[in-house]
């Protein structure tokens, strides 16, 4: 009986630890991506954003995706891929207003996705 109780508590603690590790990995990666997007958004406002600078953000997204795709819904990743591709096309054609609109959506997604896995009462119940 005591061994079963100890095993149950150990498994519960492992699950709690894994949940917080998941939150930490996802939040940190999306915070880094969001910061890069905010920086490129500022460059787009000044109309000085280059394709190479946006490719750095695009590459950052590819790295982020590899690190967090185990934890999140792939539909969300498809949405980010579409928005990144459209934004890249607007940056290439120097349509900064349109690029900024897509970057703002990407910034919002980067804030929203980690929020979905936070262990709050609304998400648990």
Please tell me the distance from the alpha carbon of residue 117 to that of residue 112, in angstroms, as a whole number: 9
SS3 50: coil
At 1 the pLDDT is: 78
Q: Which of 48, 57, 27, 28 is nearest to 118 (CA)?
A: 27
CA gap 55, 34 in Å, rounded: 14
Encode pLDDT of 66-100 as tens digits. Answer: 888 887 777 888 999 999 999 999 999 999 999 99
Angle at 96 between CA 53 and CA 67, to 5 degrees: 45
Residues 68 and 117 sit within 8 Å (Cβ to Cβ): no
pLDDT of res. 71 = 79
Every domain of the chain and the residues it spans: 2-118
pTM of the model: 0.83
pLDDT higher at 69 or 49 = 49
Q: CA neighbours within 13 Å on the CB side: how many for 104?
A: 8
pLDDT at 108 over 90: yes
CATH fold for domain 2-118: 1.20.120
């Amino acid at each position: 009986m005591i061994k079963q109780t100890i095993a149950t508590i150990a498994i519960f603690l492992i699950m709690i630890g894994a949940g917080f590790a998941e939150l930490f990995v996802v939040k940190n990666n999306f915070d880094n991506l969001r910061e890069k997007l905010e920086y490129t958004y500022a460059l787009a406002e000044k109309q000085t954003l280059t394709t190479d600078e946006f490719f750095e953000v695009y590459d950052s997204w590819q790295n982020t995706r590899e690190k967090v795709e185990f934890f999140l819904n792939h539909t969300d990743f498809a949405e980010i891929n579409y928005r990144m591709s459209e934004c890249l096309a607007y940056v290439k054609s120097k349509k900064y207003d349109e690029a900024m609109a897509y970057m703002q959506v990407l910034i919002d997604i980067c804030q929203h996705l980690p929020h979905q896995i936070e262990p709050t009462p609304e998400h648990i119940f």
